[in-house]
Amino acid sequence: MKQKQCKKVQEVNQVKIEFTNKSITAWGGMACQIGKYLEVIDFRGWVENHFPITETSPFAKGIYEKALGQFLTVLVGGSRFGHLSWWGHGIEAVSKMFDVAWLPCSASTLTRFWGKIKTQGMAEKMGDAGRQLAKTLWEWESIGEDNLNFDSSVLTRYGDQPGAKKGYNPKKHGRNSHHPILAFLGSGYIVNLWNRSGNVSSAHRITEFFDATVASLGSGFRIKRILCDAGFFISRFMAHLEAQKHLYIISAPLSTSSQKRIYQIQDWRRLCWGIEIAEFEMVCGEGPYRDLRRFVVVRQDTGRKPKAAGKQLSLFKELDDCKKYRYSFMVTNDRGLSAEEVWSEYRTRANDENIFKDLKEGYGFSAFSLANFWATEAVMVMNTLVFHNLMHYLNRNILNPKQPQKQLKTLRSQHFILPALLGKSARTWILRLGVQCKKQRGKIRHLLERIIKIPHRLNCNAVALGGS
């Protein structure tokens, strides 16, 4: 027997609640702006030409549709494959705007899709594709020279994933983790990524990673300087850079011998209120890599600079003339820069931490994990070298060309979340955005006009990377 519904339940402040079968989405801004962006640069062609996964079944739904489903999940803030449903309401409107007949609705569709990458060779092909796309994007901006920065991050794992092992984990002591290493350009593009087990150091296989990164940049790109944190203060790596005539600035740890040498400095030079700088040469390294190198040290008075970066000299922290200072310590082979310029140049590396924050909070960098180590690396490559770099280009050149670059979560709230209704006028499909403000309407039209004028297309005629 059909139960009688209470009318009071279906009203809120005398407003009746009903349902509609019309195609409505909360992501109208994403659908129109990102849909147009991917259409203009021909992202579909890039996926179909460069993706290492092939589907031979006549019932297969398509590689591009699944890659797009992953992209949309990231754009709406998803950090799990199960978050695919976050943009699923109004899927007809989203599908129409991205010109696909089907989009995945189940997390298992994506996990099975990425699970097809089972070997290191397939993961390397995915990495080659990501590096090729990154190179294409920064070449679009005519970036012929830039700093090259290296950094690593600990990604805690809560399951029994292959490669997840106990190692250095500052936030979750004793937990298994992965420890990927990344290479950035100073302009913010990510140009290389390797996933690694959690029980390795920051500088594990850094020389091999550096050589692979330089090769991917190509002979026409000039590396201005190499910037790294103290985790990469390895004499073998520094000797490798010196042998190849690369300039570097690397943060140095405050070892016992370094602290004693810093304590002996008498000729501190004042830069500004509360900041002093000095430099000296000291022999460092082990075995054949031992050499005389230039060091720059900056000390900041915590009384005048309470939020000063750096560390105290642990050997002398009780002494009155040391306990009020925090020290930043760097090694460099660049003789053309003054000590102040060395410190200023190294400080540009601080943006790497903002990129990592954006990757983790916006692109699910630490969350998308699979049962296969190489599949996990492939997803990392897709989320960083492909999705992040695509959005970074759009951010720098279209959305915020004259402003500080905004993180994805900010772009999501400012541009992507707009209610929209998909309908028809005669035979023409129309997406009606729920925007009442005339100023905002003008901004959206202006952005779409700028996207249409992008003169570049992804290289769809390149030989597929899966070829032997």
Q: What confidence category does residue 8 fall into, taking pLDDT thresholds of 50, 70 and 90?
A: low
In whole angstroms, give the CA distance from residue 403 to residue 43.
Answer: 26
Last-in-domain residue among 332, 363, 379? 332
Domain total in the chain: 2
In a domain, 11, yes or no: no
* Token reading at 135: 């190179």
- In this structure, the answer to whether residues 316 and 390 fall within a common structural domain is no
In a domain, 346, yes or no: no
Q: What confidence category does residue 400 fall into, taking pLDDT thresholds of 50, 70 and 90?
A: confident
Mean predicted confidence (pLDDT) in 383-405: 91
CA-only gyration radius of the chain, Å: 26
Q: What confidence category does residue 2 fall into, taking pLDDT thresholds of 50, 70 and 90?
A: low
Residue bearing the bigger pLDDT, 203 or 84: 203
Q: What is the pLDDT of residue 256?
A: 93
- Which residues contact residue 468 at a Cβ distance below 8 angstroms, ignoring those fewer than 6 apart? none
Q: What confidence category does residue 54 fall into, taking pLDDT thresholds of 50, 70 and 90?
A: confident
Interval 191-234: pLDDT, tens: 999 999 999 999 999 999 999 999 999 999 999 999 999 999 99
pLDDT at 333 exceeding the cut of 80: yes
Mean predicted confidence (pLDDT) in 163-192: 92
Q: Report DSSP letters for 12-47, one per residue.
A: ETTEE-----SEEESBHHHHHHHHHHHHHHTHHHHH
Last-in-domain residue among 284, 307, 332? 332
| Beta strands in 267-350, from DSSP E residues, in sequence order | 269-272, 275-284, 291-301, 325-332
The closest alpha carbon to 94, from 62, 114, 72, belongs to 72
In a domain, 435, yes or no: yes
Q: What is the pLDDT of residue 15?
A: 84
Q: Angle at Cα 139 formed by Cα 364 and Cα 151, nearest 5°?
A: 40
pLDDT at 257 exceeding the cut of 80: yes
In a domain, 412, yes or no: yes
Mean predicted confidence (pLDDT) in 424-445: 91
In a domain, 436, yes or no: yes
Q: What is the pLDDT of residue 12?
A: 83
Mean predicted confidence (pLDDT) in 397-402: 87
In whole angstroms, give the CA distance from residue 244 to residue 406.
Answer: 36
In a domain, 24, yes or no: yes
- Which residues contact residue 115 at a Cβ distance below 8 angstroms, ignoring those fewer than 6 apart? 370, 371, 372, 375
Mean predicted confidence (pLDDT) in 258-272: 92
CB hemisphere CA count around 313 (13 angstroms): 27
Range of the domain at 379: 20-104+371-452
Mean predicted confidence (pLDDT) in 275-302: 94
Last-in-domain residue among 332, 363, 385? 332
In a domain, 219, yes or no: no
In whole angstroms, give the CA distance from residue 97 to residue 42.
Answer: 14
pLDDT at 322 exceeding the cut of 60: yes
Q: What is the pLDDT of residue 9?
A: 62
Q: What is the pLDDT of residue 425?
A: 86
From edge to edge, which strands make up the β-sheet containing 325-332? 190-194, 181-185, 145-152, 222-228, 248-251, 325-332, 291-301, 275-284, 269-272
In whole angstroms, give the CA distance from residue 434 to residue 285.
Answer: 63
In whole angstroms, give the CA distance from residue 371 to residue 261.
Answer: 49
In a domain, 344, yes or no: no
Average pLDDT of the residues of the chain: 90
Q: What confidence category does residue 1 fall into, taking pLDDT thresholds of 50, 70 and 90?
A: very low
Q: What confidence category does residue 278 fall into, taking pLDDT thresholds of 50, 70 and 90?
A: very high
Q: What is the pLDDT of residue 459?
A: 67
- In this structure, the answer to whether residues 28 and 94 fall within a common structural domain is yes
Handedness of CA 383, 385, 388, 394 (dihedral sign): negative
**Percent of the chain with pLDDT strictly greater than 90:** 69
In whole angstroms, give the CA distance from residue 331 to residue 350.
Answer: 17
Mean predicted confidence (pLDDT) in 21-40: 92
Q: Is 194 helix (H, G, I), strand (E, B) or coil?
A: strand
- In this structure, the answer to whether residues 326 and 379 fall within a common structural domain is no
Q: What is the pLDDT of residue 373?
A: 94
Q: What is the pLDDT of residue 129?
A: 95
Helix count and strand count (H, E) for the chain: 15, 17
Q: Is 197 helix (H, G, I), strand (E, B) or coil?
A: strand
pLDDT at 466 exceeding the cut of 70: no
Mean predicted confidence (pLDDT) in 34-47: 95
Q: What is the pLDDT of residue 465?
A: 38
pLDDT at 88 exceeding the cut of 80: no
